[in-house]
Structure 1
Protein backbone atom coordinates (compact mmCIF):
# COMPACT_ATOMS: atom_id res chain seq x y z
CA UNK A 1 0.00 0.00 0.00
CA UNK A 2 1.41 3.39 -1.01
CA UNK A 3 1.74 6.34 1.33
CA UNK A 4 -1.00 8.15 -0.59
CA UNK A 5 -3.31 5.13 -0.24
CA UNK A 6 -2.71 5.12 3.49
CA UNK A 7 -3.40 8.86 3.67
CA UNK A 8 -6.62 8.49 1.68
CA UNK A 9 -7.79 5.64 3.92
CA UNK A 10 -6.95 7.61 7.08
CA UNK A 11 -8.79 10.73 5.86
CA UNK A 12 -11.83 8.81 4.57
CA UNK A 13 -12.31 7.20 7.96
CA UNK A 14 -12.46 10.63 9.59
CA UNK A 15 -15.02 12.27 7.33
CA UNK A 16 -18.42 12.15 9.04
CA UNK A 17 -21.27 10.41 7.23
CA UNK A 18 -24.87 11.47 6.89
CA UNK A 19 -27.99 10.51 4.92
CA UNK A 20 -28.37 12.22 1.57
CA UNK A 21 -31.74 12.67 -0.11
CA UNK A 22 -32.27 9.59 -2.26
CA UNK A 23 -31.89 10.50 -5.92
CA UNK A 24 -30.34 13.88 -5.22
CA UNK A 25 -27.14 14.74 -7.02
CA UNK A 26 -27.05 18.50 -6.53
CA UNK A 27 -23.47 18.40 -5.23
CA UNK A 28 -22.24 16.21 -8.12
CA UNK A 29 -20.32 18.09 -10.71
CA UNK A 30 -16.90 18.39 -12.24
CA UNK A 31 -14.31 17.83 -9.52
CA UNK A 32 -10.60 17.25 -9.40
CA UNK A 33 -8.93 14.41 -7.59
CA UNK A 34 -5.53 12.84 -7.14
CA UNK A 35 -4.26 10.23 -9.59
CA UNK A 36 -4.33 7.74 -6.68
CA UNK A 37 -8.07 8.26 -6.20
CA UNK A 38 -8.69 8.38 -9.96
CA UNK A 39 -7.01 4.99 -10.37
CA UNK A 40 -9.76 3.47 -8.19
CA UNK A 41 -12.50 4.67 -10.54
CA UNK A 42 -13.64 3.00 -13.77
CA UNK A 43 -12.14 4.61 -16.86
CA UNK A 44 -14.43 6.82 -18.89
CA UNK A 45 -14.00 7.77 -22.51
CA UNK A 46 -13.04 11.25 -23.62
CA UNK A 47 -16.56 11.62 -25.02
CA UNK A 48 -18.10 10.71 -21.64
CA UNK A 49 -15.87 13.25 -19.90
CA UNK A 50 -16.71 15.96 -22.46
CA UNK A 51 -20.45 15.29 -22.16
CA UNK A 52 -20.33 15.44 -18.36
CA UNK A 53 -18.27 18.64 -18.40
CA UNK A 54 -20.68 20.26 -20.87
CA UNK A 55 -23.53 19.40 -18.46
CA UNK A 56 -21.46 20.51 -15.42
CA UNK A 57 -21.89 16.98 -14.15
CA UNK A 58 -19.71 14.03 -13.22
CA UNK A 59 -19.02 11.21 -15.68
CA UNK A 60 -19.72 8.74 -12.86
CA UNK A 61 -23.20 10.08 -12.20
CA UNK A 62 -25.69 7.44 -13.31
CA UNK A 63 -29.47 7.40 -13.50
CA UNK A 64 -29.74 6.20 -9.89
CA UNK A 65 -26.95 8.37 -8.49
CA UNK A 66 -23.23 8.01 -8.02
CA UNK A 67 -21.99 4.85 -9.70
CA UNK A 68 -18.72 4.97 -7.72
CA UNK A 69 -20.14 5.96 -4.34
CA UNK A 70 -17.94 3.63 -2.28
CA UNK A 71 -14.80 4.88 -4.07
CA UNK A 72 -15.84 8.52 -4.54
CA UNK A 73 -12.99 11.02 -4.09
CA UNK A 74 -12.29 12.92 -0.88
CA UNK A 75 -13.73 16.15 -2.30
CA UNK A 76 -17.05 14.41 -2.93
CA UNK A 77 -17.05 13.04 0.61
CA UNK A 78 -16.55 16.55 2.03
CA UNK A 79 -19.82 17.90 0.61
CA UNK A 80 -22.26 18.48 3.44
CA UNK A 81 -19.68 17.83 6.17
CA UNK A 82 -18.12 21.30 6.21
CA UNK A 83 -19.53 24.81 6.15
CA UNK A 84 -17.30 25.50 3.12
CA UNK A 85 -19.22 22.87 1.06
CA UNK A 86 -22.76 22.81 2.43
CA UNK A 87 -25.49 20.50 1.23
CA UNK A 88 -27.93 22.64 -0.80
CA UNK A 89 -30.78 20.92 1.09
CA UNK A 90 -29.36 21.51 4.55
CA UNK A 91 -28.44 17.88 5.21
CA UNK A 92 -25.41 17.35 7.41
CA UNK A 93 -23.91 14.98 9.93
CA UNK A 94 -24.64 15.48 13.61
CA UNK A 95 -21.03 16.61 14.07
CA UNK A 96 -19.32 18.40 11.22
CA UNK A 97 -15.82 17.42 10.14
CA UNK A 98 -12.98 18.19 12.54
CA UNK A 99 -11.28 21.36 11.21
CA UNK A 100 -7.85 19.71 11.52
CA UNK A 101 -8.96 16.77 9.37
CA UNK A 102 -10.45 19.17 6.82
CA UNK A 103 -7.14 21.03 6.77
CA UNK A 104 -5.28 17.74 6.26
CA UNK A 105 -7.57 16.91 3.32
CA UNK A 106 -6.90 20.28 1.72
CA UNK A 107 -3.18 19.82 2.31
CA UNK A 108 -3.31 16.37 0.68
CA UNK A 109 -5.16 17.80 -2.32
CA UNK A 110 -2.72 20.70 -2.60
CA UNK A 111 0.30 18.42 -2.35
CA UNK A 112 -0.79 15.97 -5.04
CA UNK A 113 -1.29 16.60 -8.72
CA UNK A 114 -5.02 17.03 -9.28
CA UNK A 115 -6.82 15.81 -12.41
CA UNK A 116 -10.38 16.30 -13.58
CA UNK A 117 -12.63 13.34 -12.85
Structure 2
Protein backbone atom coordinates (compact mmCIF):
# COMPACT_ATOMS: atom_id res chain seq x y z
CA UNK A 1 0.00 0.00 0.00
CA UNK A 2 1.30 3.44 -0.92
CA UNK A 3 1.55 6.06 1.76
CA UNK A 4 0.63 9.69 1.07
CA UNK A 5 4.36 10.46 1.11
CA UNK A 6 4.89 7.88 -1.68
CA UNK A 7 1.95 9.24 -3.68
CA UNK A 8 3.22 12.80 -3.38
CA UNK A 9 6.74 11.77 -4.45
CA UNK A 10 5.40 9.88 -7.47
CA UNK A 11 3.13 12.73 -8.55
CA UNK A 12 5.88 15.32 -8.08
CA UNK A 13 8.22 13.31 -10.27
CA UNK A 14 5.62 13.34 -13.06
CA UNK A 15 4.88 17.07 -13.07
CA UNK A 16 7.22 18.89 -15.46
CA UNK A 17 8.94 22.11 -14.44
CA UNK A 18 9.40 25.24 -16.53
CA UNK A 19 10.82 28.75 -16.37
CA UNK A 20 8.48 31.42 -15.03
CA UNK A 21 8.36 35.09 -15.94
CA UNK A 22 10.74 36.80 -13.49
CA UNK A 23 8.82 38.66 -10.80
CA UNK A 24 5.50 37.00 -11.62
CA UNK A 25 3.60 35.49 -8.73
CA UNK A 26 0.21 34.91 -10.37
CA UNK A 27 0.07 31.36 -9.04
CA UNK A 28 0.99 32.42 -5.49
CA UNK A 29 -2.42 33.04 -4.00
CA UNK A 30 -3.77 31.25 -0.98
CA UNK A 31 -3.95 27.52 -1.66
CA UNK A 32 -4.95 24.45 0.25
CA UNK A 33 -2.75 21.43 0.67
CA UNK A 34 -2.70 18.10 2.43
CA UNK A 35 -1.45 17.83 5.99
CA UNK A 36 1.40 15.63 4.67
CA UNK A 37 2.58 18.43 2.37
CA UNK A 38 1.95 21.05 5.06
CA UNK A 39 4.25 19.16 7.43
CA UNK A 40 7.14 19.89 5.05
CA UNK A 41 6.58 23.66 5.17
CA UNK A 42 7.80 26.12 7.80
CA UNK A 43 5.22 26.99 10.44
CA UNK A 44 3.87 30.53 10.09
CA UNK A 45 2.18 32.60 12.76
CA UNK A 46 -1.50 33.50 12.72
CA UNK A 47 -0.48 37.11 12.04
CA UNK A 48 1.54 36.02 8.97
CA UNK A 49 -1.40 33.99 7.71
CA UNK A 50 -3.81 36.88 8.29
CA UNK A 51 -1.52 39.31 6.43
CA UNK A 52 -1.17 36.94 3.47
CA UNK A 53 -4.93 36.43 3.26
CA UNK A 54 -5.50 40.17 3.43
CA UNK A 55 -3.14 40.56 0.44
CA UNK A 56 -4.68 37.47 -1.19
CA UNK A 57 -1.23 35.94 -1.47
CA UNK A 58 0.57 32.89 -0.16
CA UNK A 59 2.09 33.08 3.29
CA UNK A 60 5.29 31.57 1.81
CA UNK A 61 5.69 34.26 -0.86
CA UNK A 62 8.68 36.42 0.00
CA UNK A 63 10.23 39.45 -1.68
CA UNK A 64 12.22 37.20 -4.02
CA UNK A 65 9.46 34.71 -4.79
CA UNK A 66 8.46 31.40 -3.28
CA UNK A 67 10.38 30.68 -0.10
CA UNK A 68 9.41 26.98 -0.14
CA UNK A 69 9.82 26.31 -3.86
CA UNK A 70 11.43 22.88 -3.46
CA UNK A 71 8.64 21.78 -1.10
CA UNK A 72 5.74 23.66 -2.73
CA UNK A 73 2.43 21.77 -2.73
CA UNK A 74 1.20 19.69 -5.66
CA UNK A 75 -1.37 22.29 -6.69
CA UNK A 76 1.40 24.89 -7.00
CA UNK A 77 3.47 22.49 -9.09
CA UNK A 78 0.52 21.79 -11.37
CA UNK A 79 -0.05 25.48 -12.16
CA UNK A 80 1.10 26.24 -15.71
CA UNK A 81 1.55 22.59 -16.67
CA UNK A 82 -2.02 21.95 -17.83
CA UNK A 83 -4.55 23.89 -19.91
CA UNK A 84 -6.90 23.69 -16.90
CA UNK A 85 -4.43 25.79 -14.84
CA UNK A 86 -2.77 27.77 -17.60
CA UNK A 87 -0.20 30.44 -16.86
CA UNK A 88 -1.56 33.90 -17.81
CA UNK A 89 1.90 34.77 -19.18
CA UNK A 90 1.88 31.74 -21.51
CA UNK A 91 4.78 30.10 -19.69
CA UNK A 92 4.69 26.34 -19.87
CA UNK A 93 6.91 23.28 -19.95
CA UNK A 94 8.03 21.76 -23.24
CA UNK A 95 5.55 18.95 -22.60
CA UNK A 96 2.44 19.52 -20.54
CA UNK A 97 1.61 17.19 -17.67
CA UNK A 98 -0.05 13.96 -18.77
CA UNK A 99 -3.83 14.14 -18.31
CA UNK A 100 -3.81 11.01 -16.13
CA UNK A 101 -1.26 12.61 -13.77
CA UNK A 102 -3.35 15.77 -13.54
CA UNK A 103 -6.37 13.61 -12.71
CA UNK A 104 -4.38 11.72 -10.06
CA UNK A 105 -3.31 15.03 -8.46
CA UNK A 106 -6.93 16.13 -8.26
CA UNK A 107 -7.96 12.72 -6.90
CA UNK A 108 -5.24 12.97 -4.23
CA UNK A 109 -6.43 16.45 -3.28
CA UNK A 110 -10.04 15.29 -3.13
CA UNK A 111 -9.17 12.23 -1.02
CA UNK A 112 -7.11 14.03 1.63
CA UNK A 113 -8.06 16.59 4.21
CA UNK A 114 -6.92 19.95 2.90
CA UNK A 115 -5.70 22.84 5.03
CA UNK A 116 -5.01 26.44 4.06
CA UNK A 117 -1.29 27.07 3.51
Same-fold call, TM cutoff 0.5: yes
Per the alignment, residue 94 of structure 2 pairs with 94
SS at match of 1:115: strand
Residue correspondence of structure 1 range 54-93 to structure 2 within 5 A = 54-93=54-93
TM-score by length of 2: 0.97
TM-fit CA distance, 1:24: 1.4
Q: C-alpha root-mean-square deviation of aligned residues, in Å?
A: 0.9
Per-residue CA shift, 1:56-106, capped at 9, x if unaligned? 100000000000000000000011001111111000011111000000000
CA contact (8 A) 1:27 1:88 kept: no
TM-fit CA distance, 1:46: 0.5
Mind listing any 5+ residue stretches in structure 1 that lack a counterpart?
A: none
Number of corresponding residues: 116
SS at match of 1:33: strand
> For 2:13 and 2:34, how far apart are their aligned partners in 1?
17
Detail structure 1 runs of 4+ shifted over 4 Å in the superposition: none
TM-score by length of 1: 0.97
Mind listing any 5+ residue stretches in structure 2 that lack a counterpart?
A: none
SS at match of 2:109: helix
